């Protein structure tokens, strides 16, 4: 048996295979309130598999952390009730599901933050759009967080972890990639601070480490994952020495005993089509440093997913686009069955079309017959 389809333990979680549903922003929560509803529960339940892991989409920990209308939250009791529908649907099929905790930082607009200016490590202007009730609009100018405000951000992540436990999740993932708040602190292209959260990498990584400690106090570190994008340039992100920056972080994370490190490969920029000609290298580089399980993500197909796990550069592979259109993806990959093409036009927002209307292979085969 190929390792991709073999059992593995991620901290306290035991899985029967290594095909992971990646966290995908689909903007289908119920409004107002950013509340997961029946549609989202159906979507996740369809993609659950016995002993498989799903990482629920990026979920905001506060009002100021919002940036995209339709993205779910985990900052209210109503959202906890809504997420319970999702976790119940996944657990009914024997699956496991983590919630990705998210703060967008400077990638926001005052229409999404209750009128407050978006926050960031530093007020570095950039060009980006976010999704509001008025469609895709340019971001609002962000302000730099005061030093004494940062413990409040950490507490928002901790409270999100508390609510995720109440909602029935099996663990949580901290979103430290894609140019959002934690990533903005990590990379020196966006962090120009001169206090204890800026300057050398041990300071720029401080917010992430404080969030890891706060969230682990709720869950235990063996039910906490971290997502990083060492080569990410989307949202005008850059760092003067990414190898040193992310190498330091991977090593610093070793002391916690995390469930996993989730690494985005440099083959996808924003929502663009993966460039499969680019070899996955980020996981291989950090594998030399990080001692726990590694999930690799970023435009994988069946063959290169199998290869990266067989080589040992990653222990699991997260799929996004193909999971959107193949609810039974782990079984299709294992049996080498044809994959249903995904529909990019339905990725961000809408109803069940392109979200809950894709069929498992047995139904596709029956319809063809």
Paired strand residues for 364: none
Q: Under 8 Å CB-to-CB from 246, ≥6 apart: which residues?
A: 186, 228, 230, 286
Contact 13/259 with Cβ under 8 angstroms? yes
What distance in Å separates the CA atoms of residue 358 and residue 340, rounded to the nearest whole number? 8
Using alpha carbons only, how large is the chain's radius of gyration in Å?
19
Q: How are beta strands 13-15 and 8-10 bridged, if at all?
A: antiparallel
> What are the tokens at 52?
């498989």
180 tagged catalytic: yes
Coil/strand/helix, residue 211: helix
What distance in Å separates the CA atoms of residue 332 and residue 363, rounded to the nearest whole number? 13
Catalytic member of 44, 75, 180, 355: 180
Q: Under 8 Å CB-to-CB from 332, ≥6 apart: which residues?
A: 326, 338, 339, 361
- Give phi and psi for 44, each to the nearest 5: -70, -40
Residues annotated as catalytic (active site), given as ranges: 180
């Amino acid at each position: 048996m190929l390792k991709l389809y073999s059992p593995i333990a991620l901290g306290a979680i035991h899985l029967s295979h290594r095909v992971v549903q990646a966290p995908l922003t689909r903007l289908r929560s119920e409004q107002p309130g950013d509340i997961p509803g029946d549609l989202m529960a159906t979507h996740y339940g369809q993609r659950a598999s016995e002993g498989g892991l799903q990482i629920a989409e990026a979920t905001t920990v506060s009002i100021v952390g919002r940036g995209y209308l339709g993205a779910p939250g985990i900052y209210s009791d109503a959202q906890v009730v809504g997420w319970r529908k999702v976790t119940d649907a996944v657990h009914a099929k024997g699956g496991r599901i983590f919630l990705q905790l998210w703060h967008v930082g400077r990638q926001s607009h005052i229409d999404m933050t209750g009128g407050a200016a978006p926050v960031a490590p530093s007020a570095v202007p950039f060009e980006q759009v976010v999704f509001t009730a008025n469609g895709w609009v340019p971001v609002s100018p962000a302000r730099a967080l005061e030093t004494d405000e940062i413990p409040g951000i950490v507490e928002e992540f901790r409270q999100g972890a508390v609510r995720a436990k109440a909602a029935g999740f099996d663990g949580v993932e901290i979103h430290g990639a894609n140019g959002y708040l934690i990533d903005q602190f990590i990379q020196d292209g966006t962090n120009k601070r001169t206090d204890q959260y800026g300057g050398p990498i041990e300071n720029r990584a401080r917010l992430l480490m404080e969030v890891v400690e706060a969230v682990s106090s709720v869950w235990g570190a063996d039910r906490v994952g971290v997502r990083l994008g060492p080569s990410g340039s989307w949202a005008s992100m850059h760092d003067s020495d990414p190898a040193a920056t992310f190498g330091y972080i991977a090593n610093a994370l070793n002391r916690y005993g995390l469930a996993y490190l989730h690494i985005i490969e440099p083959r996808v920029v924003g929502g663009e089509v993966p460039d499969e000609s680019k070899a996955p290298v980020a996981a291989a580089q950090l594998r030399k440093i990080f001692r726990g399980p590694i999930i690799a993500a970023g435009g994988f197909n069946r063959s290169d997913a199998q290869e990266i796990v067989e080589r040992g550069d990653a222990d699991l592979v997260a799929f996004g686009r193909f999971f959107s259109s193949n609810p039974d993806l782990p079984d299709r990959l294992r049996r080498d069955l044809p994959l249903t093409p995904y529909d990019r036009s339905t990725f961000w927002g809408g109803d069940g079309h392109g979200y809950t209307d894709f069929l498992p292979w047995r139904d596709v085969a029956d319809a063809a017959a």
